[in-house]
Chains A and B, each alone.
Chain A
C-alpha cells in the first residue's frame, strides 16, 4: 500500500506541474498585452513583463480616438448582433422542421445544410455573386454573409435539442387547434430556449471575431468592424505597442465579457456536438 500512495503522490505532483506550466504559457502572452497597454510610448520597444513605470490610462482614449474605435465597435455590434438574430431565428425554425419531418427529402436537405460546416468558401466567385446582388461594401451584405457562414452549425446544434422535445406535445397542440406557427412560437420555441441562447452566443462570438469577410467586402473604413480596424491600426502604428496592446484589449473586451458571463453556454454548446451521451 505504501508503494501505491507514493505512486499516487508522484502522479498528482506531475499533473499539477503540467497544469501550471500549460497555464503559464497561456497566461504570459495575455499578461504582456495587459501590462504593455498601460506603458508610456518609449517603454514598449521591447514588450516585457515589467510593471509600467507610470500607469498611463490615456492610451485607451488615444486609441479610441485615433483608431476610430467607437464607430467600429458599433459596426461590429451591428454585424454580430443582427447576424446572430437572423441566423438563429431562421436556423431554429429550419432545425425544427428538419428534426420533425425526417422524410428522405428533408433528411437529405439537412445533410446538405450541415455539409456547410465543412465546405470552404470560394471567395473569387463569392465576390462576383456579391457584386451581382449589389451587396459588396454594404452592411446588409456582411450580415447576410455571416448568416450563410453560421447557419450550418446553428442548425446542427439546435437539431439535436429539438429531438429531445416529445412529439406528443405537438400532437396535443394540434388537437387543441394550434396553427403551425402558433405551435412553433408558443410550444416549441420556449422549450428550445437554452439551445437558442447557446447557438446565439456562439454565433455572436464567431461573427465578432471574423475577419475575412470584411477584408474582402468592406472597402470604406467607416463600415469596418473592430477586427479590420485593429489590423489597419497595427499597420499605421507598427512600433507603438502600448497603443496596439490597448487596442487589442478593447477589441477583446466584449468577447471576454461574453465568455465570463456565458461560459456555461459556450462550453456547453461546443461540447454538445462532440460528446454523445
Chain B
C-alpha cells in the first residue's frame, strides 16, 4: 500500500493554507515591518534597522512595562490557577457528596465569554456601588472595601483575581481527569501501608499527575501571554497604563496609527512564543511522539 497515494497530500491543503496565510504569514511579515518606520501618517516606508526594538527595550516609553505586565499576569494567574485547581481537584475527585454539582459549577465560568465576565465584574468591583464592597460593609469589614479597579496599586491584582475566578475550574477539571486516571490500587496499597492523606498526595497523586500538570501549565501560559478581553473589559489598561498588557497596548497603537511600534512589540511576543512554543508543543504532543 503506497501511503502517498492512499493518503493524498491535498487532504491537508485547506487547513494548512488558511492557517499559513492568516496566522503565520502576518507573524513573519510583522518581523519584517518591525525594521521599518511604518505608520498611518506616511505612505513611504523606510528601513530603520533595530531602532524600534531598541526603543522597546530602552525603557524610555512604557513598552517594556506592557511586556513585563503580560509576563507577570501569566506567572501569577498560572500559579494560582494551578494551585487552587489542584486543591479543588483533590477535594472533588473522590468521596464527596454533590461532587458533580460542585464540578459543574466550578467549570461553568470557563465556557462563558471572557468579555462578558469582565463586564459583569466591573459592576461587582465598583468601589461605591459594587456588590463586593457592599458585602464587606454589611459584615462590618469596611477596611476591606477597596477601590478595586481604580486604585493603581491593586488594579492589576484585581484583574488577575477575576481571571483566576474564571479559569480555575477549567484547570481543576483537567486535573480531576488526571487524578481519576491514576489506578486505585496504588491508594489501596498505600492505605495498607498506613500512609496518611498528605503522604498519599505527596507520593502518589503528585508524581502521577506530572504530565497533566505540565499540560495545564502550558495551557495557562499560552492563555496568559495572549490575554486581551479580560483586561479590555475591566480596566482597558488603566489607571495610567498600570494594567496595560501587550494586546491592549497593540490595540491602542493601532488606533493611533503607530503601526511600526505595534508590530514590533507583537513581534517580540511572536519570537518569544515560537521559541518556547516548540517546547510547549513537545509537552502537549508527548505521548504521540513516543508512540
Contacts and interface: CB of A to CB of B under 8 A. Distances in A.
B74 interface: no
Interface residues of B, number: 104
A125 B284 contact: no
A173 B12 CA distance: 21
Most chain A CB within 10 A, of B11, B109, B276, B286, is at B11
Interface string B245-267: 00100110110000100110011
B87 interface: yes
Contacts of B108: 26, 30, 256, 259
Contact of A114 (B4, B177, B269, B284): B284
A28 B286 CA distance: 39
A172 to B, nearest CB: 10
A197 interface: no
Interface string B192-214: 00001100000000000001100
B11 A97 contact: yes
Main SS class of interface, B: helix
A129 B26 contact: yes
Contact of A145 (B22, B181, B278): B22
Contacts of A184: 11
A113 B105 CA distance: 34
Interface string B24-39: 1111011001000000
B288 interface: yes
Interface string A237-262: 00001001100100110011011000
Nearest to A15: B91
A231 B266 contact: no
A148 B88 contact: no
B145 interface: no
B95 interface: yes
Given A47-B124, A231-B115, A160 B7 contact: no
Nearest to A17: B91
Nearest to A179: B6
A160 B22 CA distance: 25
Interface stretch (B55-63, B75-83, B151-159, B225-233): B225-233
B129 A163 contact: no
A125 B254 contact: no
A234 B116 CA distance: 10
Given A97-B7, A259-B108, A123 B266 contact: yes
A128 interface: yes
Most chain B CB within 10 A, of A90, A159, A174, A255, is at A90
Given A29-B124, A122-B263, A276-B286, A211 B270 contact: no
A18 B87 contact: yes
Contacts of B262: 123-124
Contact of B101 (A23, A119, A231, A259): A23
A170 B1 contact: yes
Contact of A124 (B116, B196, B254): B254
B106 A26 contact: yes
Most chain A CB within 10 A, of B16, B169, B226, B228, is at B16
B19 A151 contact: yes
Contacts of A205: 111
A7 to B, nearest CB: 8
A120 B99 CA distance: 37
Contacts of A277: 181
Interface in B81-103: 87-88, 91-92, 95-99, 101-102
Interface string A135-169: 00000000011011101100110011001000000
Given A114-B285, A117-B281, A124-B266, A96 B7 contact: yes
B69 interface: no
A252 B116 contact: yes
A18 B15 CA distance: 45
Given A19-B96, A120-B269, 19 more contacts: A19-B88, A30-B108, A47-B130, A93-B12, A97-B8, A101-B7, A112-B24, A118-B273, A120-B247, A120-B266, A121-B23, A122-B263, A126-B22, A151-B15, A156-B284, A180-B5, A255-B113, A271-B178, A273-B215
Query: Which 10 pairs of residues, A with B, have the shortest CB-CB distance?
Result: A118-B277, A122-B30, A148-B22, A90-B14, A271-B177, A94-B12, A209-B113, A126-B26, A125-B26, A122-B266
28 contacts: A26-B105, A26-B108, A29-B120, A32-B124, A46-B129, A47-B123, A94-B11, A96-B11, A98-B12, A115-B274, A116-B24, A123-B26, A124-B262, A125-B30, A180-B11, A212-B229, A216-B254, A227-B116, A230-B115, A231-B119, A248-B119, A255-B113, A259-B108, A267-B107, A267-B177, A270-B174, A274-B216, A275-B211
